[in-house]
């Protein structure tokens, strides 16, 4: 396994120390993945693709960073290894969070792991509007991701969100949700192999009622498109979610 890990990681980063730390992470991930479901990637070559994806965010993230829905550690762990910045990982599934703690300890990273839902953590004063950047990869729909990430950012902070291609209505729904939460869509950056990063700036404080209760951001997104019987798209923001008496 060691040879295949070394060759898979070889082209991923220029720095030898970073590569050796990434190799240790991949080894732990593949070992633990045999027992608990941490990632769909089953071999070193597949994991290296996730490393590349994660490291593509390095030029955009700032210290301190919070990664929401880290799963087996993407993109938070590779970013902690490659940039040395302080990273908080929020992961709702306890066994995944335990694995992330093992990685942080064994590799000596500046990483804090919270086994919790982002909706709960973002309402705690010690974590709300305390981060210069936030990442989330493959966690929820675009408007829900806005609600799960923007409350963590200080004003002036940057959300660096990894997505497949967003269609026009998804992008508008995400932009609408961002506005409600004090953010503004800045840029969509095209990466290699059809991957994209959506950058969202934090312009104003997030209203205290967001994020809503666990599960609500995904179940009742702040903005979404609805297609009528003729297939015509209508963008809708929930009036109840905008007013003071918001449910959730």
- Selected from 13, 19, 96, 163, the binder of ligand SAM by CB under 6 A is 96
CB 201 → ligand SAM: shortest distance, Å?
22
Site for ligand SAM in 99-128 (CB under 6 A): 117-119
- Selected from 90, 104, 142, 181, the binder of ligand SAM by CB under 6 A is 90
Q: With CB under 6 A as the contact rule, which of the stretches 13-21, 84-92, 173-181, 232-240 interacts with ligand SAM?
A: 84-92
C-alpha 235/C-alpha 41 separation (Å) is 36
- Selected from 9, 44, 69, 147, the binder of ligand SAM by CB under 6 A is 69
| Tokens representing residue 145 in the block | 């991701």
> Which bin fits 220, alpha (ψ -120 to 50), beta or left (φ > 0)?
beta
Determine the residue with CB nearest ligand SAM: 71
Q: With CB under 6 A as the contact rule, which of the stretches 87-95, 151-159, 169-177, 196-204 interacts with ligand SAM?
A: 87-95
Q: Do 118 and 90 form a contact (C-beta atoms < 8 A)?
A: yes
- Selected from 93, 123, 141, 237, the binder of ligand SAM by CB under 6 A is 93
Site for ligand SAM in 8-67 (CB under 6 A): 39
Comparing CB distances to ligand SAM, the nearer of 92 and 104 is: 92
HSE-CB for 176 with a 13 A CA cutoff: 20
Q: How many residues belong to the site for ligand SAM (CB under 6 A)?
A: 19
**Full DSSP string of 171-202:** HHHHHHHHHHTTEEEEEEEE-GGG-EEEEEEE
CB 228 → ligand SAM: shortest distance, Å?
30
Q: Does 77 bind ligand SAM (CB under 6 A)?
A: no
CB 234 → ligand SAM: shortest distance, Å?
27
Q: Is 156 helix (H, G, I), strand (E, B) or coil?
A: strand
Site for ligand SAM in 137-156 (CB under 6 A): 137-139, 148
Residues of the shown chain interacting with ligand SAM in the complex, contacts defined by CB under 6 A: 39, 68-72, 74, 90-93, 96, 117-119, 137-139, 148
């Amino acid at each position: 396994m060691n040879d295949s890990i070394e060759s898979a990681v070889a082209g991923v980063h220029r720095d030898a120390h970073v590569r050796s730390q990434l190799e240790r992470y991949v080894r732990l991930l593949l070992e633990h993945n045999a027992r608990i479901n941490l990632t769909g990637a089953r071999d070193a070559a597949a994991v290296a693709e996730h490393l590349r994806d994660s490291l593509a965010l390095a030029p955009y993230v700032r210290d301190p960073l919070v990664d929401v829905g880290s799963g087996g550690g993407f993109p938070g762990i590779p970013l902690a290894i490659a940039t040395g910045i302080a990273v908080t990982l929020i992961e709702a599934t306890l066994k995944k969070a335990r694995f992330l703690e093992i990685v942080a300890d064994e590799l000596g990273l500046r990483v804090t792991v919270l086994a919790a839902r982002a909706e709960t953590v973002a309402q705690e004063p010690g974590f709300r509007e305390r981060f210069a950047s936030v990442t989330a990869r493959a966690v929820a729909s675009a408007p829900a991701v806005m609600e799960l990430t923007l409350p963590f950012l200080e004003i002036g902070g940057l959300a660096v969100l990894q997505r497949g291609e967003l269609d026009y209505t998804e992008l508008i729904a995400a932009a609408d949700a961002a506005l409600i939460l004090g953010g503004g869509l800045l840029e969509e950056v095209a990466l290699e192999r059809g991957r994209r990063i959506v950058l969202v700036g934090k312009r104003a404080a997030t209203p205290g009622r967001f994020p809503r209760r666990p599960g609500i951001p995904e179940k009742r997104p702040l903005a979404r498109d609805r297609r009528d019987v003729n297939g015509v798209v209508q963008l809708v923001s929930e009036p109840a979610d905008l007013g003071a008496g918001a449910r959730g």
